[in-house]
Copies of this chain bind each other. A is one copy, B any other.
Amino acid sequence: MKIAVQEQILDAATRLFAEKGYATVSLQDVAAMSGVEESELTRLFGSVEKLYEAVLELQFSNYAASLGAPFDGSEGPVTKVELFATAMCEFHKQAPYFFPLFYRELLTPSPCFESIILKRIRRVAYMSDNNIAKGIQKGNFRHGVNPANATMVMVGMFHYYFLANCLVGSLLPENTTDEEFFSQAVKVFLNGLRKEE
Contact = CB atoms under 8 A, between A and B. Distances in A.
Report whether over half of chain A's contact residues are helix, strand or loop; otherwise say mixed: helix
Given A173-B146, A191-B192, A152 B125 contact: no
Contacts of A19: 108
A166 to B, nearest CB: 6
Contacts of A115: none
Nearest to A142: B191
A103 B167 CA distance: 12
Question: What range describes how many residues of A lie at the interface?
Answer: 35 or more
A15 interface: no
B149 A172 contact: yes
A107 to B, nearest CB: 6
A89 to B, nearest CB: 14
A188 B156 contact: no
Contacts of A155: 160
B187 A192 contact: yes
Contacts of A24: 23-24
> What 10 A-B pairs are tightest by C-beta distance, nearest first?
A156-B160, A192-B192, A188-B192, A156-B157, A191-B192, A153-B157, A149-B184, A159-B160, A148-B172, A153-B185
